[in-house]
Amino acid sequence: MGDAFLQDLWFHQVEGVVIENAVVDGELVVVRARASAERAACPACGTMSGRVHSRYVRRLADTAVAGRPVMIELQVRLFRCRDRACRQATFVEQVDGLTFRHGRRSSGL
């Protein structure tokens, strides 16, 4: 979709997220987005990696819009750490200003 208005509305303070679409499903607003950074830093050792192991969708509750609850369905990637000596073989990318480890809510909520 790439709609600049939607991008500014939901992710105006966040870098590295692309909105695929936003739909109203009954009383719920569902925003489907994906992380767009090419690489991520391993939280254990700090090594940058672009080697994607897999992808999955995180569902994050976000602040309401026009009285309707918002759910962000964010596709994130699981990366492999490039440092073979690192204790953490894989890690999930985090989006600064939006996600945090094991979080089920956006940082804004």
Tokens 């090594």, located at residue = 47
Other residues' Cβ atoms within 10 Å of the Cβ of residue 46: 10
Under a CB-based contact definition with an 8 Å cutoff, are residues 57 and 98 in contact? no
Q: How far apart are CA 14 and CA 23, in angstroms?
A: 20
Which pairing describes strands 90-92 and 40-41: parallel, antiparallel, or unpaired? Answer: unpaired
Tokens 């509305």, located at residue = 9
Under a CB-based contact definition with an 8 Å cutoff, are residues 72 and 33 in contact? yes
For 86, the token pair is: 């690192």
pLDDT by residue for the chain (109 residues), tens only, comes to 445 656 565 565 667 788 888 888 889 989 999 988 899 999 999 999 999 999 999 999 988 888 889 999 999 999 999 999 999 999 999 888 788 787 887 776 5
Q: pTM (2 decimals)? A: 0.80
